[in-house]
DNA sequence: CTGTTAGCGCGTTCAC
DNA sequence: GTGAACGCGCTAACAG
């Protein structure tokens, strides 16, 4: 089932391969009738130009590598969708690689991207990554890179993020405005840049007000978030506000809140706010207000920044790109 | 920043490109010391073999195209993870394309796969697809195809699915065993093969018992599932069992159950069962029992079947492959 | 043991 | 207007 080539078409029409190539590219030198003839034969024979051969010549692959820390159901799908949408507009294809929260796999994935000749790399780091030394293969080959969401702040590579400090500050202020006096903040893995930044924004806001009590806990996943928050709910009767750093944490906390209410046969008046992609909060029981952190939009922005990197001459110098967020109340 | 080639290495070491190629591939003809020499120079210069050139020669791309109906947060991430895991073992790369529930995009995605020279296509159909005519480009080029989960039953292409009929039958029996007499079944888009099959299994089981009342409703997403199920809960006081076809529906129903209980200040004794990937049921309030439909395992199986298609001679003849499921009670 | 040659499919010179 | 020749980087057949 070997594929049709321009040589085959040329033989059939009685012209050389180069003429076929030109006709198919609407080259002005070719007569209109010959063009039509060749093009009709090409479509008739289901001719598909061999992308590999074109890539070899042009030294481009039209493939963008996306490396994500893990294929979680939170945030990642909408991020991929945003990226995919934007890439398709310019005929780029998306290669998805998961690091499964392992640095070894992250290193491996960067190598795979280089091996595969990707034209650019979009990457969100694992929760264990704390330097970018392993990016050197990509640097060596001059492959443009954009860091997304889970990044490390530095001055070499573009970052596309939300203003994590401001986001958690907003959330903390929301709770303060609701008159909360005793607040619990639940964060993800303490090594991640987004955790650190969100933690800073949260603490900076609450520490200013001496009348406020607050506590910080960390939870790597929904399960742990559920367990730990239930302990807090049970032991701290004055708790009146909860901040949840992510959807994953929110899902766990939602469960413990329910269990707590069941056990105590009373409805709590605890105010809740989460940073979320926005799919799940409306299905929490009851609904949870959230600061919208759109994976879709972040993905689109990341691709735009990557495109910007393709033309280094006109390239914007700004290295850190912030996506705007909005607080939605329910 | 043009990349190092075997020609460059050859020039440096003083041998021909083919000798370099052989040394790098550990060809027996090359002397041990020359091999070592060449290999050390190669690594020193950060040589990476050009995959595009290799692909052109070998007529393989080592890329598998995955076409999904939509990048939803339900089921799809774990499906991709299973696929990705399995592909990596044999150095295949994954290209992800979303049809966004549009047939036009599905057609387009199949073309993209052909254009990109993928070595195989894994595809889960949109909820509007009801024939496979648009697969012809892939057929013409002899690209192996495997249908996953959302399929159309036919005899040409391998399908990798769960036994949807048996799955919903199991669920219906679970509710019967719990002594439910008045059951609500909530299903997804009525056009999908999985909806039809699950509906059949559900009805076949319940229709047998004349003492059982049941009702079927359809909901395209969580929101609609929530609205419609709340109406049923409110209007039917005798409802004592609910079957939910998917995670997406479960999330919506969970919310309406909560709202119903809040409004009526009483805990319902409604038994619940869902077909689920298993991530969310444990965080529903209260937990929901489920029939485990593993996206991860389905993905792995799909890749295995695809690999099987690579060697048509030894190929297993079975066209429909079922992943086993298990009912987990909480 | 190693070098030369040829060709994978395409686009782009450079001739005519 | 069109064809011939070349090269993208690599490997395999052939030659010595």
pLDDT over 90 at B177, yes or no? yes
At a 7 A CB cut-off, the residues bordering strand C are A 2-3, 5-7, 17-18, 21-22, 24-25, 49-50, 53-54, 56-57; B 14-19, 22, 27, 29-31, 34, 53, 56-57, 59
- pLDDT for A212 equals 94
> A114 and B280: CB-CB below 8 Å?
no
> CA angle at residue B48 from B44 to B51, to 5 degrees?
170
The whole-angstrom separation of Cα B317 and Cα A8 is: 34
**pLDDT tens-digit series, residues B18-31:** 899 999 998 888 88
pLDDT digits (tens, 9 = 90+) for B120-142: 999 999 999 999 999 999 998 89
Write down the pLDDT at residue B35.
Answer: 87
Q: Which nucleotide has its C1' atom closest to residue B52's CA? A: D9
CA of A142 to C1' of D14 (A): 38
Confidence of residue B2 (pLDDT cuts 50, 70, 90): low
| CB contacts, 8 Å: B78 with chain A | 71, 73
CB pairs under 8 A between A and B: 137
What domains sit in chain A, N to C, each tagged with a CATH number? 6-49 (1.10.260), 61-162+296-325 (3.40.50.2300), 164-292 (3.40.50.2300)
Mean pLDDT of B184-202: 97
Strands B63-68 and B93-98: parallel
Least confident of A211-215, B22-26, B199-203, B232-236: B22-26
**Cβ atoms within 10 Å, residue A255:** 25
Distance between the alpha carbon (CA) of A52 and the C1' atom of D8, Å: 11
Measured over the CA atoms of residue A303, residue A306, residue A308 and residue A311, the dihedral's sign is negative
The C-alpha of B88 sits at a distance from chain A's nearest C-alpha, in angstroms, of 9
Q: Is the pLDDT of residue B197 over 90?
A: yes
CA-nearest of A279, A14, A161 to B255 is: A279
**pLDDT given at position B118:** 96
Give the pLDDT score at B247.
Answer: 97
Torsion region of B79: left, alpha or beta (phi above 0 gives left; psi -120 to 50 gives alpha): alpha
What is the structure's pLDDT at B26? 86
- CA–C1' A114–D2 (A): 40
Q: Write the burial class of residue A165 (CB in 10 Å: 0-12 exposed, 13-18 middle, 19+ buried).
A: middle
pLDDT attached to residue B265:
72
> What's the rounded Cα separation, in Å, for the pair B291 and B294?
9
Rg (CA), chain A: 26
Sign of CA pseudo-dihedral A217, A220, A222, A224: negative
Burial B103-113 (b: 16+ CB within 10 A, else e): bebbbbbbebb
Return the pLDDT at B159: 97
Percent of chain B with pLDDT over 90: 79
Cα gap B213→B184, rounded to integer Å: 9
Q: How far is A239 from chain B (nearest CA, A)?
A: 21
pLDDT attached to residue B314: 67
What dihedral angle (degrees, nearest 10) is formed by the CA atoms of A36, A42, A46, A47? Answer: -140
Per-residue pLDDT, A330:
85
pLDDT at A2: 66
Mutate to test the interface with B, among A42, A54, A71 (most CBs of B within 10 A): A71
Q: Does residue B24 belong to the interface with chain A, where contact is any CB pair within 8 Å?
A: no
* Strand D footprint nucleotides (protein C-beta < 7 Å): 1-5, 7-13
SS3 labels along chain B? CCCCCHHHHHHHHCCCHHHHHHHHCCCCCCCHHHHHHHHHHHHHCCCCCCHHHHHHHHCCCCEEEEEECCCCCCCHHHHHHHHHHHHHHCCCEEEEEECCCCHHHHHHHHHHHHHCCCCEEEECCCCCCCCCHHHHHHHHCCCCEEEECCCCCCCCCEEEEECHHHHHHHHHHHHHHCCCCEEEEEECCCCCHHHHHHHHHHHHHHHCCCCCEEEEEECCCHHHHHHHHHHHHHHCCCCCEEEECCHHHHHHHHHHHHHHHHHHCCCCCCEEEEEECCCCHHHCCCCCEEEECCHHHHHHHHHHHHHHHHCCCCCCCCCEEEECCEEECC
Nearest-CA distance from A40 to chain B in Å?
A: 17
Inform me whether the pLDDT recorded for B231 exceeds 70. yes
Q: What is the Cα–Cα distance from A74 to A247, expressed in whole angstroms?
A: 6
Helix (H, G, I), strand (E, B) or coil at A21: helix
> How close does chain A come to B199, measured CA to CA in Å?
25
* pLDDT band per the 50, 70, 90 thresholds, residue B73: very high
pLDDT at B11: 87
pLDDT at B272 over 60: yes
Low-confidence residues of chain A: pLDDT under 70:
1-2, 314-316
Q: To the nearest 5 percent, what fractions of chain B are helix, strand and coil?
A: 45, 20, 35
- What is d(CA A152, CA A161) in angstroms, rounded to the nearest whole number? 11
Q: pLDDT tens for residues B273-317?
A: 999 999 999 999 888 999 999 999 999 999 999 999 998 776 667
pTM of the model: 0.94
B289-292 and B326-328 beta bridge pairing: antiparallel
Helix (H/G/I), strand (E/B), else coil: A141: coil
């Amino acid at each position: 089932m070997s594929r049709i080539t321009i040589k085959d078409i040329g033989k059939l029409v009685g012209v050389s391969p180069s003429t076929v190539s030109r006709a198919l590219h609407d080259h002005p030198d070719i007569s209109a009738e010959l063009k039509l003839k060749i093009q009709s034969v090409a479509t008739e024979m289901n001719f598909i130009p061999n992308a590999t051969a074109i890539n070899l010549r042009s030294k481009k692959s039209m493939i963008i590598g996306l490396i994500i820390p893990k294929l979680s159901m939170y945030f990642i799908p909408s991020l991929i969708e945003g990226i995919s949408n934007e890439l398709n507009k310019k005929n780029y294809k998306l290669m998805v690689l998961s690091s499964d929260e392992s640095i070894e796999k992250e290193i491996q994935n960067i190598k795979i991207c280089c091996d595969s000749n990707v034209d650019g790399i979009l990457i969100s780091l694992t929760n264990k990554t704390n330097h970018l030394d392993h990016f050197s293969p990509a640097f060596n080959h001059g492959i443009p890179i954009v860091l997304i969401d889970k990044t490390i702040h530095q001055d070499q590579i573009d970052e596309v993020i939300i203003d994590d400090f401001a986001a958690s500050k907003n959330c903390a202020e929301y709770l303060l405005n609701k008159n909360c006096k005793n607040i619990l903040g639940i964060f993800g893995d303490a090594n991640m840049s987004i955790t650190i930044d969100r933690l800073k924004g949260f603490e900076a806001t609450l520490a200013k007000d001496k009348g406020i009590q607050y506590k910080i806990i960390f939870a790597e996943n929904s399960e742990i978030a559920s367990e730990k928050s239930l302990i807090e709910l049970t032991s701290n009767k004055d708790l009146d506000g909860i901040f949840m750093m992510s959807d994953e944490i929110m899902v766990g906390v939602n469960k413990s809140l329910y269990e707590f209410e069941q056990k105590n046969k009373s409805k709590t008046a605890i105010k809740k706010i989460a940073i979320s992609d926005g799919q799940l909060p409306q299905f929490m029981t009851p609904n949870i207000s959230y600061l919208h952190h759109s994976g879709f939009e972040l993905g689109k922005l990341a691709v735009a920044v990557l495109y910007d990197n393709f033309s280094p001459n006109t390239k914007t110098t700004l290295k850190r790109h912030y996506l705007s967020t909005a607080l939605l109340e329910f």
